[in-house]
Amino acid sequence: MGVLERLGEIAAKYATNAMNAASEWARNAAQAADKWDRNSKSADAERNYATGVQYAAQNQLRLRGLQNVSAADWSAAVSGSQDVYAYKVSIASPKWQQKFEPYAQELDRIVPTLPSRIPGSPRENVMNRVVPIAEALHAKKVGGAVTRALGPTATPTAPRYPFGRR
């Protein structure tokens, strides 16, 4: 009997084995946390990530991977994981607060320096108020510890205008 003929049996065994191995996987992953932390933030990992993203983009791997995924598949995955999402997000609140705090400080710093709104002038309001906020938050994001540890990356310096060209 060939593999194709046994495909259903193999898939069922795969699902059963994954459920049985979950606790062992979790234990092994927890024991390797320090190694993961060290390796995931290395210059080699960053180079490998960049190479992999470039390869995936050149070969349209994201699009190819989505070819056989339907809206029904997406919907089933979402409905099957909503309880996990709710639980995980609810317990992550302190970490979210800690990670968002620098951005909240940046907002508190920049908002008082913005010019007043101009009634009836949405373009000017966006350019004078929204763009400086977006640029400040972007600078905060790309100027973090990773940039200092692994070296700066090139960022575009030309301003972008949301309502067409100037």
Is residue 162, in this structure, part of any structural domain at all?
Answer: no
Judge contact between 39 and 45, C-beta under 8 A. yes
The reply to whether 45 and 115 lie within a common domain is: no
pTM exceeds 0.75:
no
The reply to whether 51 and 71 lie within a common domain is: yes
Is residue 136, in this structure, part of any structural domain at all?
Answer: yes
The reply to whether 114 and 138 lie within a common domain is: yes
Q: How far is the C-alpha of 114 from the C-alpha of 132, rounded, in Å?
A: 8
The reply to whether 10 and 60 lie within a common domain is: yes
Residue by residue, pLDDT tens for the chain (166 residues) are 788 888 999 898 988 888 889 999 999 999 999 999 999 999 999 999 999 999 999 999 999 999 999 999 999 999 889 889 889 988 998 899 999 999 999 999 999 999 999 999 999 999 999 999 999 999 999 986 555 455 555 555 555 555 554 4
The reply to whether 8 and 85 lie within a common domain is: yes
The domain in which residue 25 lies consists of 4-90
How many domains does the chain contain in total?
2
Helices (H), 32-142: 33-40, 43-58, 61-66, 71-91, 93-110, 122-125, 131-142
Helices (H), 32-70: 33-40, 43-58, 61-66
The reply to whether 105 and 86 lie within a common domain is: no
Structure confidence at residue 1 (pLDDT)? 78
Is residue 159, in this structure, part of any structural domain at all?
Answer: no
Which of 106-144 are b and which e, b meaning 16 or more Cβ less than 10 Å from the residue's Cβ? beeebeeeeeeeeeeeeeebebebeeeeeebeeebeeee
The reply to whether 86 and 8 lie within a common domain is: yes
Among 48, 66, 90, which residue terminates a domain? 90
